């Protein structure tokens, strides 16, 4: 039972490069989320998707785009990476439609931007 | 403006003791208060949650106490075990959007 799977687990980018973080869940959940976690801080919501075909901005959306490809997959794209985007990124899902109450998290993507 | 303040930042407890982590919030519209447990290198896991119409919720060794008038809620871990050593985050939700505290690193000494 995989739950929420994120790829890659680690990535190093140069400033200005682009990248897509992948996330997939196998629990048939409606809602999916992208968070970032910086040292000594809690999670901050970047984007969320209440259902397939819908996406909305969270607390810190600038510099990111998302795509809810289907019910299982929710990707996060950095178009032009900046050092301020160095962080650990977590994808999460929940059964409740639009509740913003994440229940299951992936193990994160550790992203460093030089 | 930090809407959810969590304390302490770190906590050391002896095995068998009680661990207490506190959170305070400002927005009285928050309507859901979850706690998450995170081990190093892993994503957070939903531990226990409470709604503001209840003053206490218990699941096994974990209890949430909620004080609506004081705008505070806390996590109590009874009979703390070394396996409970992790970072704990509180959160508060309004209109479905969650705001997280900064986390408490708990170390339970054997």
Convert the pLDDT of each residue in A41-88 to its tens digit: 889 999 999 888 899 999 899 999 999 989 999 999 999 999 999 999
Q: Check: CB of residue B99 under 8 Å from CB of residue B92.
A: yes
Tens digits of residue pLDDT in B21-36: 999 999 999 989 999 9
- pLDDT at position A2 is 72
B97–A100: do the CB atoms touch at under 8 Å?
Answer: yes
Q: What is the pLDDT of residues B73-103, one digit of tens each?
A: 999 999 999 999 999 999 998 876 788 999 9
β-pairing, A109-113 with A87-94?
antiparallel
- What are the structure tokens assigned to B82, written together? 């070394």
The predicted-structure confidence for A97-107, as pLDDT tens digits, reads as follows 545 567 789 99
- Whether residue B8 is preceded by a cis peptide bond, meaning omega within 30 degrees of 0, is yes
Beta carbon pairs, A and B, within 8 Å: 57
Determine the distance in angstroms separating the CA of B5 from the nearest CA of chain A, rounded to an integer.
10
Contact A43 B89 (CB under 8 A): yes
Cis peptide before A67 (omega within 30 of 0): no
Residue A4 in contact with partner chain B when CB distance is under 8 A:
yes
Query: Chain A partners of B89 at a C-beta cutoff of 8 Å?
Result: 42-43
Please provide the DSSP assignment of B60-106 as one string.
TTEEEEEETTTTEEEEEESS--GGG-EEEEEEEEETTEEEE---EEE
pLDDT of A39:
84
β-bridge pairing B104-109 and B10-14: parallel
CA distances from B108 to A30, A53, B17, B84, B86 (A): 37, 45, 9, 7, 9
């Amino acid at each position: 039972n995989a739950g929420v799977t994120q790829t890659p687990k680690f990535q190093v980018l140069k400033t200005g490069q682009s990248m897509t973080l992948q996330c997939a869940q196998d629990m048939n959940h409606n809602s999916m989320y992208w968070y970032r976690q910086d040292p000594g801080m809690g999670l901050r919501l970047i984007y969320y998707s209440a259902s397939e075909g819908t996406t909305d901005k969270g607390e810190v959306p600038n510099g990111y785009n998302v795509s809810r490809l289907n019910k299982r997959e929710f990707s996060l794209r950095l178009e032009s990476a900046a050092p301020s985007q160095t962080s650990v990124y977590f994808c999460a899902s929940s059964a409740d439609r639009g509740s913003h109450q994440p229940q299951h998290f992936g193990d994160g993507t550790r992203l460093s931007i030089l | 403006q930090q809407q959810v303040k969590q304390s302490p930042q770190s906590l050391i407890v002896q095995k068998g003791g009680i661990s207490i982590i506190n959170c305070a919030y400002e927005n009285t519209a928050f309507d859901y208060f979850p706690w998450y447990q995170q081990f190093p290198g892993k994503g957070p896991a939903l531990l226990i949650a409470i709604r503001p119409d209840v003053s206490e919720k218990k699941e096994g060794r974990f209890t949430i106490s909620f004080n609506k008038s004081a705008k505070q809620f806390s996590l109590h871990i009874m009979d703390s075990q070394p396996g409970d050593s992790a970072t704990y985050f509180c959160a508060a939700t309004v209109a479905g959007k969650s705001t997280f505290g900064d986390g408490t690193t708990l170390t339970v000494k054997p």
